[in-house]
Structures are given as C-alpha cells and as structure tokens.
C-alpha cells in the first residue's frame, strides 16, 4: 500500500464523519450560539451527541434515558426504552464503531504520534467501570432524585459526560453572543472541564478510552452484541482459532463480537482464513478481499455493487443533511420577526422597551403585557424538565402573594415532555403559567429568551427592562426589584 492509499480515509471514517455532520446539521446554532429546539429534538440519534450542542438536531439517547427515569413518578418513558432496544437489536455496538461522533474524535486523538498503552489485564478490569457508571449515574441517581424531589437530575450528563462538556458547554461558550453565560459557571463546570481535559489526554495514549472505560451508552449496546442484526460474524468452519483477531484488536475483547467489540471490522483485515465478515442478517457488508471467493455465492456482493451501494448511501446521507439544513430547520424554526414588528426593539437588554405581547395561560385567561403598564412585571422562562427552573418557582409564587403591584408570568418553553397543566396543578403554583408556541407567535423569541434556562426578565412600571438574568435567581434578587 503506497503513502497515498494510507492517507485515504476508510469507508468507516467517512460514515463516522457523515454521522457527525448529520447529527449536528443545525448550522444556524453555531453561528448564533443557540440550541435548536424544533420538533426533531423529540427523536434520538443512535450515538452519543449532546442535546445542548448548538448544532444538534436531535436528542442523545443517554440524556433521554435519564430524563425518562427522573420522571417515573408520574410517567414511564416507554419511548426511550423502546428506541434503545431498537438500536441495540439492529446494531449493538456497531453504533459505537460506525455511528458515534465522539468515537471518531477519540480515534483522531489517538493518531497523534506518542507512545501508546496497549490493552492488558488492567484495562480489561477497567472496562467494567462503565457498567458501574451506567448503574449509578445514568440510572440510580436520576431515578432516586426524581422520586424523592420530583425533579430531574441527569447524573451522568451533569457530573461526568465529556462529550456534553465539549459539544454543549464549550460549543455555546465560544460564541461571543453567550458571554453572559460565564457568570453562571461554578464548581460543577470546573469539575466537568477537568474530566474533559483528562479524557482528551487519555485518549491520545489509550485507544478510545472513554468508550472502553466510561461510556454508559456503550455499556447498554454491548448487551446486544451477540445477537444484533448488524455485526461481525465468524465462520466457524473457516476459523482455525489462531487468536490473531483478538490480539490485533485494540479494545478489550476476549473474542469477536463480545460486549467490548465495537464492530469496527479491523479484525477482518488481519484474518488470513477469511473467517470474519460484517453482516446484516445474511447480507455481507464487509469481508477480507483475500477471502471473498470462498464465500457462498448467495452471500457474496461484488466489489462493483459494494461501491455503488456505498455511493448511494453517501449521497442519501449528504442529501439528508442539505435538506434538513435548508428546508426542515428553516421552516420549522422560522425567524420570529414579522412584518408588523420588523425594525422594532425586542427589548432584551436593560433600558430597552419591551414590545407588547399576549399569551394564553393554562387557566384560560389571557396575559397581555400592555394591560399591566403601571405594574412591575416579572417574566420567568422555564420548563418542567429544567431542575433549577422547578426549584426556584416557589420564589415567584411568594413574590406574587406579597406584592400587589407586581405581576408574575411563567412561560414554558415550546418543547414539552410532560403535561404542563397537570405538573403545575400538582405543584400548587399560584401564578399564571403559559406554554409558548413556535414560529412568529413565539413569546420566547419576542422577549429575547435564550436556550439556557431558567431566565428571568424584570420590567419596571413603564415596561422598561431593568434586568435580564440567565440562570437561577434568589429571593433577595427578586425582592430588590419589587420594593418601592
């Protein structure tokens, strides 16, 4: 193989790259420093890809699993259990080897020329750590906290996930429009950025260290490896049990397609017997070229057909990315500025006049900003799945009770994962609550709402913004604006 052939990316690398682009096709998010919140976020991609990444067009299955467990007190998230079961049965850890953007990043880091730590008994023992992390941080913590506090605590996402830190936190913070977020950073962020740095450094010396030792999603998919539809298969009649496949593999497998196998197919190229291949059922997707002829005629796919099939798949994926970016995203999340308010201030900076808006509340009433002139107004942007939002809501209820000249309105994000009316009734909150709508009627956009919650906007009696606070508030912060 010449130098040019060595530099040529493999089909697996190209598919990994396409997946990374497809998962993060919301280009506008990177430009504006905002999170896409359209209807596509209800769906989960197969690989690990943070919901809060500015470009993410769908949800992460691991984050959705934790949210489902946290909400078990009033609902069971059958959808996410079903989607994980579906992905597992179809592909198992083939998702890790072919469809995970964070896996691609780890492999690129490992290509940096340095001494490498080979797999050994210690790394094999460490491979069990991800099951402990799955049980404690991705299952027990969210479930226990949800049942005890009636709030979401995605333990793995909040305290560990380096993919979330890189894609979500860093992805948002590097955008100049989000400079206000730096004031909300604290000890948890310092912990997670430290974990991210350690993970990056470790992956340079250890092949896919995060996948092998930490990733709970890989732990889940590994349970399906032995019977998933797509994966590496061994022809026992051709295998001479030389063990070269296990020896050359860089993960901690004991045999091909066990729980640690990421189904990457590298073992196929070192098998001189032609006993290994990647199959989808009985269809052979990849095999050693030397061993192509011994395969039964009904299992062989000619090289020309393979190239055509790969080209079609690549074009479909590329077309899907383009269609999503230029059609679906643009039309499902349109610019909120309409002809009648074009050129007017949206009033999200202190000292600016907030334009009038109206919103239908869950109790059947209508809140209109203009009708509250002469009163101070507090607008709280929140969501049921935002733990800090739920935690601080009693502060707003207390303000509404104590001050007659202050109006409080809580506006839920358009994306809902539970019955907001039932949620509010169960909590006994006594302030007007509305669920925002998408599109030109979005109050969230009109008042300058960000994609980071909670957010509190305080207006004086003339409708002038006096504070636009992203992050948690305290009772003292609210009372400061309510006093005469």
Assigned domain for 101 exists: yes
Nearest-CA neighbor of 99 among 190, 195, 201, 217? Answer: 217
pLDDT at 39: 75
Contact 349, 438 (CB under 8 A): no
Instruction: Indicate whether 224 and 364 sit together in one domain.
Output: no
Report d(CA 389, CA 381) in Å as an integer.
8
In-domain check, residue 253: no
pLDDT given at position 246? 93
Report the distance separating Cα 457 and Cα 209, nearest Å.
43
Residue 339 placed within a domain:
no
- Per the model's pLDDT, the better-predicted residue between 323 and 208 turns out to be 208
Average pLDDT of 419-443?
Answer: 85
Beta strand 406-412 with 376-382 is parallel
The residue-averaged pLDDT of 399-403 equals 90
Cβ-count burial 269-294 (b if 16+ within 10 Å, e if not): eebebbbbbbbeeeebbbbbeebeee
The closest of 187, 153, 56 to 451, measured between CA atoms, is 56
Q: What is the dihedral of CA 75, 81, 82, 87, to 10 degrees?
A: 160
Residue 99 scores a pLDDT above 90: yes
Query: Are residues 224 and 370 both part of a single domain?
Result: no
Query: What DSSP designation does 222 have?
Result: H
Examine the fold and report which residue of 203, 228, 253 is the final residue of a domain before the chain moves on. 228
Do β-strands 366-368 and 433-435 pair in parallel, antiparallel, or remain unpaired?
Answer: unpaired
Tokens 């479930």 belong to 143
CA atoms within 13 A on the CB side of 270: 15
Residue 212, classed as helix, strand or coil, is helix
For the record, the structure tokens of 77 come out as: 């998230």
Instruction: Express as a percent the part of the chain with pLDDT over 90.
Output: 43
Whole-number Å distance between alpha carbons of 134 and 148: 20
- The domain boundary residue, chosen from 160, 193, 228: 228
Nearest alpha carbon to residue 94 among 256, 304, 205, 273:
256
Q: Which domain holds residue 173?
A: 9-228
| Tally of domains within the chain | 2
More confident call, 476 vs 179: 476
Q: What is the pLDDT of residues 254-298, one digit of tens each?
A: 999 999 999 999 999 899 888 999 999 889 988 875 544 444 555
Q: Which of 43, 44, 23, 47 is nearest to 221 (CA)?
A: 47
In a domain, 181, yes or no: yes
Question: What is this structure's pTM?
Answer: 0.69
Residue with tokens 């349109």: 334
Instruction: Please say if the pLDDT value at position 71 is more than 90.
Output: no
Q: How far apart are CA 286 and CA 306, in angstroms?
A: 9
Sheet of 276-280, strand order: 230-234, 276-280, 283-287
The answer to whether position 137 is within a domain reads yes
51-58: average pLDDT: 90
Specify if 45 maps to a domain.
Answer: yes
Q: Hey, is 54 helix, strand or coil?
A: coil
Q: Is residue 252 part of a domain?
A: no
The answer as to whether 183 is a domain residue is yes
Confidence (pLDDT) at 455: 87
CATH code of the domain covering residue 372: 3.40.30.10
Q: Identify the domain boundary among 185, 210, 228.
A: 228
């Amino acid at each position: 193989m010449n130098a040019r052939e060595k530099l040529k990316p493999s089909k697996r690398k190209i598919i990994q790259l396409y997946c990374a682009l497809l998962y993060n096709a919301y280009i506008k998010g990177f430009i504006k420093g905002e999170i896409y919140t359209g209807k596509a976020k209800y769906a989960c991609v197969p690989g690990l890809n943070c919901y809060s990444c500015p470009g993410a067009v769908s949800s992460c299955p691991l984050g959705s699993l934790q949210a489902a467990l946290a909400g078990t007190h009033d609902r069971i998230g059958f959808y996410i259990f079903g989607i994980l079961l579906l992905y597992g049965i179809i592909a198992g850890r083939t998702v890790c080897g072919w469809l995970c953007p964070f896996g691609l990043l780890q492999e690129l880091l490992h290509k940096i020329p340095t001494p490498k730590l080979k797999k050994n008994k210690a790394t094999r023992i460490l491979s069990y750590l991800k099951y402990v992390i799955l049980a404690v941080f991705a299952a027990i913590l969210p479930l226990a906290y949800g049942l005890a506090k009636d709030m979401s605590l995605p333990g793995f996402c909040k305290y560990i996930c380096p993919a979330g830190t890189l894609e979500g936190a860093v992805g948002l913070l590097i955008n100049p429009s989000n400079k206000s977020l730096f004031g909300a950073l604290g000890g948890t962020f310092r912990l997670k950025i430290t974990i991210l740095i350690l993970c990056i450094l470790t992956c340079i010396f250890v092949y896919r260290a995060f996948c092998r030792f930490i990733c709970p999603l890989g732990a889940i998919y590994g349970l399906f490896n032995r019977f998933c539809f797509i994966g590496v298969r061994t022809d026992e009649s051709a295998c001479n049990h030389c063990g070269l496949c296990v020896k050359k593999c860089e993960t901690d497998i004991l045999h091909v397609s066990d729980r640690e196998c990421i189904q990457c197919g590298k073992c196929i190229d070192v098998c001189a017997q032609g006993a290994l291949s990647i199959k989808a059922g009985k269809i052979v997707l990849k095999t050693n070229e030397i061993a192509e002829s011994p395969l039964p005629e009904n299992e062989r796919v000619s090289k020309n057909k393979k190239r055509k099939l790969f080209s079609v798949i690549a074009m479909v994926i590329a077309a899907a990315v383009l269609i999503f970016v230029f059609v679906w995203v643009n039309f499902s999340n349109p610019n909120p500025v309409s002809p009648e308010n074009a050129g007017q201030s949206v009033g999200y900076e202190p000292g600016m006049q907030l334009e009038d808006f109206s919103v239908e509340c869950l109790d059947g009433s209508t809140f209109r900003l203009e009708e509250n002139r002469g009163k101070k107004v507090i607008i709280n942007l929140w969501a049921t799945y935002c733990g800090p939002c739920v935690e601080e809501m009693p502060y707003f209820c207390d303000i509404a009770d104590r001050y007659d000249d202050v109006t409080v309105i809580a506006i839920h994000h358009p994306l809902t994962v539970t019955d907001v009316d039932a949620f509010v009734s169960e909590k006994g909150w006594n302030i007007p609550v509305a669920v925002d709508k998408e599109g030109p009627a979005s109050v969230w956009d009109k008042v300058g709402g960000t994609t980071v919650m909670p957010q509190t906007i305080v207006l004086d009696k003339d409708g002038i913004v006096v504070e636009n606070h992203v992050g948690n508030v305290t009772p003292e912060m609210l009372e400061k604006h309510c006093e005469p």
